[in-house]
A and B are shown apart, each in its own frame.
Chain A
């Protein structure tokens, strides 16, 4: 068994807020994903929007601290799930169930050091 991180990238400007009608549906989708995949889920979180992000780059001995995400992209990292899967095909099958109507997800194998 291996672990994979499923990163959820979505367009923040389209993403509904808690008071919008689409919100409940989205939350229900994640709830359902969690229930259906409880056996393989190892963790997961939603992130606050990129307007809350701070980037810290090393500059020689020093650091540059700036407002905003590391890379400005149309679809921004908004959350993740950590899952366990036998192989990439299985991880992709789980990833396809993650609700991400305003973008998509990226699957990355977790590096193991032994």
Chain B
């Protein structure tokens, strides 16, 4: 292979790597200069394009992120000068006044002397996840601006057409400018609520990828990995926040089972039947350590939703076999989770855990209490869980009835085929 070609391949790889690692950093620092998201995006894209040629001649710089930031910011300043001469005045993004609490740990707001630019990624994420934007727009903006996905890629992630997604992104960016959503980290009093909104976006991104609502495959690996990237980024930026740590742990632990959730024929494999030897041990080790850290972080109200969910996932991940799962401790964690987040789905999961900790009879009693809940009417997992407990009790006729109820409420083909399999396995042994 000619040396030149190899060099250009190395440069392409370095630019692609910098895109994945540095996009949010470069864009966040450029928005601060451009004070206009569209202009900043344009300049950052041009900087990456310029890197492809420049780095071929000059070599890959020691700090690609700083090189890209300098280049993009210079382009933004040039563009602003040209715009000023055109007397074009658009509402600019709002920057905090002097002395505004930065909230990210640096008291003075001064840039880290080791870095050429202040880390503005948290501002960028805060702006993308502002509660005055529609949830779908928050997720789309995060993918576009924080992860650097193209509009086509974001559209594909949500199974909508490119013009639809382009319009959604444009509407959101217009609202940021017109309603003057500030480009800043909110003051400490508001920060917890805003972190909650960011975590909701990352969690939604993950669940969309983890169980793709439609499409050929159960898992959308690209979305799962992007959500892990953002969760990691948030953890880097807010290392002492228990909810952030808990979410990263939960995502790592849930994703550690990715390879075993479907069999070769594309059938769903339940947790009980998964090949634990094929679980991702590195992800489990990291997730368990983070879950422990999140749970032990002191908090006035006790551990929140994500640290508790992570702890439950950690107990499953650490069990050497389904039969050796620590169900008693899982029930205890579900109790704490329900106290903090009283969702009927949490109550349902708790009842299932009870059926393993204290036996199917006790579980069935808990499930029957939930039958009266209006929010669970029409929720297929309730009759499916009842059917499972009844089957384990040998009450096959009632189990058949419950599986049939669950089937009537299920549209997902993979889940239907699982329920049909259970039903036919019961046969007429009644």
Contact = CB atoms under 8 A, between A and B. Distances in A.
Interface of A: 2, 86-89, 92, 107, 109, 111, 114
B23 to A, nearest CB: 26
Interface in B88-107: 89, 94
B132 A2 contact: no
A111 to B, nearest CB: 8
Contacts of B135: none
B260 to A, nearest CB: 45
A72 B263 CA distance: 54
A104 B180 CA distance: 21
Contacts of A89: 181-182, 186, 190
A109 B179 contact: yes
A97 to B, nearest CB: 14
B181 A114 contact: no
Contacts of A87: 94, 180-182
B180 A88 contact: yes
Contacts, number: 25
B89 A2 contact: no
Contacts of A109: 178-180
Interface secondary structure of B, over-half rule: loop
B94 A86 contact: yes
A89 B182 CA distance: 7
B127 to A, nearest CB: 11
A109 B179 CA distance: 5
A18 B239 CA distance: 54
B125 to A, nearest CB: 15
A109 B180 CA distance: 8
A88 B179 CA distance: 6
A88 B89 contact: no
Contacts of A111: 178
Nearest to B130: A88
20 contacts: A86-B94, A86-B180, A86-B182, A87-B180, A87-B181, A87-B182, A88-B130, A88-B179, A88-B180, A88-B181, A88-B182, A89-B181, A89-B182, A89-B190, A92-B132, A107-B179, A109-B178, A109-B180, A111-B178, A114-B89
A2 B190 CA distance: 21
Given A86-B182, A92-B132, 9 more contacts: A2-B180, A87-B181, A88-B132, A88-B180, A89-B182, A89-B186, A89-B190, A107-B179, A114-B89
B31 to A, nearest CB: 15
Contacts of B180: 2, 86-88, 109
